[in-house]
Structure 1
Amino acid sequence: MSLLSRKYPWSKWQKHLVLAREPVLREFLPDTAVLKEETLIDFLSRYPVVFAKPSCGGGGRGVVRISVIEEGRVEIQTTETRVETEIPQAYAAVKSFLGPKQYIVQQGVSLIRIDDRPIDFRTLLLRPGRTWRYMGVMGKLAVRDQIVTNHCRGGSSLTFAEALKESRELQPEEIRELEKRIERLSRLIAAALNKRYPLVAELGLDIGIDEELKLWLIEANTRPQYKLFRDHDDPTLYRRIGAIIKTVRLPLA
């Protein structure tokens, strides 16, 4: 294993293990495990929806949604297709959509919605020196009938205030308080990952808000896309993000 591999987290599973060791963060982490037949069956016995994801990679590529639709049966949906099968055959059916690399299985979170389309939130943190800079947060609204919210998969961007007004009709002071909670959580995650992986200097955190307004870390991205920040309230932010990322981004190994 190279020095870079030891000091930089390439996989979702690595990042989950680091964060799960932090007591203050555990309540924000969906139940997650390496995808195996026994773990998938176990998750389907406890959660109505679970996701299988490639441990490495991003952009919503390779994500599979598995939903319990009635006793003993599931619907399996990718970004292009959906099938139904019995739970004992679910693992084989899921594997038929997956590549040979490691995958994780993750508890599905019931995200807040706009017009029955799920929305989650991308926060961006950059570390051009010794201190993390919280750059802001944007909403990512899924295309109708899509299973991921990613901008590169057709998802649309919304400001945080727009998203919360449209989905929950929250008042301005409630929105400000929720955004403060998201920033605090984002900084805790950044500190925890940086403690274990000192080379990490950029983070795009996908944070979900459920119907009870509880926060969940869906995914931590160490080479984040940030185009959706073009639509931020601050018209100068996107340009400033790009300038900082040029100074901190490591070359691909």
Structure 2
Amino acid sequence: MDPVGSDKQIRLRYAGTCRPCGEPLPAGGEAIYERNAKTVRCVECRMPAEPQPDVAGGSARREYERRKSAREDRIRASHPKLGGLILALSDDPQSTRAWERGAVGEELLGERLKDLPATARVLHDRRNPGTRANIDHIVVTPAGVWVIDAKRYKSKRPELHVEGGILRPRTESLRVGGRDASKLVSGVASQVDRVAGAVADDAVTVTGVLCFLEADWPLIGGSFEVNGIHVLWPRLLIKRITAESTPDPIDPDVVSGRLAAAFPRHA
């Protein structure tokens, strides 16, 4: 794009979103209008920039490093002479290790998603505005959209637990390692609803997934759905996304662009 011949600084009549950095641009503010692409960018992004690739697990990795560093600083400040020894003989608290475990899970799945066909568009580690949660991965293919939550529960088995079905209503729940994990299902279901709202097209299928890495999956079978959310492992996830088809394909670039604006990167 020619930034001199094709772009022009204007005052926005309507609110928009900066193409390079994803920041919202209010109506009445100054912005650069990109005539060729019919897009806008903020004045700070005067020159067109190549979009930076998403980093899977980036926000979880930063939070882990922040917590780990803060703990080390506290211990060294409280124990100037013995701080190093205390750190060497003690582990990070479980709450800090959980952030590292989450980051590794997202990073590993991010690598596996590179095996998807070139027609797929993948968004990693996206903010879910209005909530404290993030969306680990969003995959857009000509056949639809996949909202994926990566979970790394080493050597624990995800299982479908069913109650009722004959004399009383059937209810489904997820258990991991024998413990109720229904909140994981409801979390993905909420993300699916938000993504479907951002897509704003009832013809586009939005599928929710809980993808467990390093879990204790059985040799035969193992995958299942619970309340409409798919529960499976990375290899099967790639296989299902790749095999999905539709007689009325969508444009992955258009849909992924819409979702990138609705669910921006972490700062």
Q: Give TM-score, length-normalised by structure 1.
A: 0.29
State the structure with bigger RCO (CA 8 A, min sep 6), 1 or 2: 1
